[in-house]
Amino acid sequence: MLPFMLFDSIEGPMQFVNICITVGLINYWFFLLAFVLMICSTKFLLKCKALIVQSKQLDMIYKSPVFSFFSKTIQGAIHIRIYD
């Protein structure tokens, strides 16, 4: 049996594919538009990949103190629980 979170991560893209197929069957010009948009989106993401990676790194740097605080808090809670 697959984990519950895996079902959640698959459900969204599958609904999107279902909507695209349904709209495409009703109006076949949608496939042409979807194909062009997919190519443009791919080119845009490949062009901006470095910027996306840098922004993610900055995001993780600024979130690092929060993560370390929670980590130390949890570690401290375990020590308090041991002595309690």
Please check whether residues 1 and 41 belong to one and the same domain. Answer: yes
Distances (CA, A) of 84 to 36, 72, 80: 63, 18, 6
Q: What is the pTM of this model?
A: 0.47
> Do 7 and 43 fall into the same domain?
yes
**Total count of domains within the chain:** 2
Handedness of CA 62, 41, 17, 24 (dihedral sign): positive
Kindly report, residue by residue over 35-61, the tens digit of the pLDDT: 898 899 899 989 988 888 898 888 888
Residue range of the domain that includes 16:
1-47
- Model pLDDT, residue 70: 77
Residues 12 and 36 in one domain: yes
Mean pLDDT of the chain: 81
In a 3-state reduction of DSSP, which class is residue 84? coil
Mean pLDDT to the nearest integer, 5-30 = 85
Give yes or no: residues 9 and 27 share one domain: yes
Q: Do 9 and 41 fall into the same domain?
A: yes
Q: Do 39 and 57 lie in a common domain? A: no
**What tokens does 55 get?**
């922004």
Q: What pLDDT sits at residue 40?
A: 93
Who has greater pLDDT, 8 or 23? 23
Token representation of residue 42 = 């791919």
